[in-house]
Structure 1
Amino acid sequence: MFERVKELCQLRGISINNLEEALGYSKNTLYRLKYQNAGADKLETIADYFNVSVDYLLGRSDSKQYPSGDEKIDLAFTLEHLLSDIIEEDELTYYGKPATKEQKDRVRIALETVIQMNKMDSDNK
């Protein structure tokens, strides 16, 4: 289950720690999924957060439920958290290999530029 949650976090552009914060879990709660099963309440909460089925999280199904289009994603929130993950954590990969410092720096600069451009746009509205 941990690998599925980790994959969903990567697709959403957040870290496991960000997910724990968003769900109100204490640090390392989700890392324990490597060794122990989650209770029904946690399974349901995580599945609802990612809009997937509990069966998907448990590995009983490979079919995900994708958002219907009604779900809104906050661009500023996503970019800020993605940027902090790149700076603070070692989870960024490039074609499956750990990203080099230079690759991380390029992504960081690009994200900072996008964040600044969006801030200027929103300030001008």
Structure 2
Amino acid sequence: MDRLHAWLDADRAHGGREGLLLRVLKLSEEVGEVAQVVIGATGQNPRKGVSHTWDDVRSELCDVVITAMVALRTLAPDAREVFTARLASVADRSLDDPSTPVQGAEFRRTDR
């Protein structure tokens, strides 16, 4: 993540507050791409039919996570620690006992 952040910073057209806002807005673009491939994977556009796969959806979701982490790194040099602490906080408030697996919460693939 640090290398991606440095690479993007070295070649960005806008710095300061504007650059930060544009980096955060990039998330909207990536989320839109997830929507586009979900529509394609489910064949919801009758003109295009099934034009994407669930592997495409997974790839686009990864792009969202990467983009979010780079944006977080722009705001916080210790982005990994910030993310880890936030994840722990969400898990603690969401689960009665974080060490106990939630029944029925395992991932089920729907693309088989």
TM normalised by structure 2 equals: 0.32
Give the structure, 1 or 2, with the largest relative contact order (CA under 8 Å, sep 6 or more).
2
Larger of the two Rg values belongs to structure:
2
TM normalised by structure 1 equals: 0.30
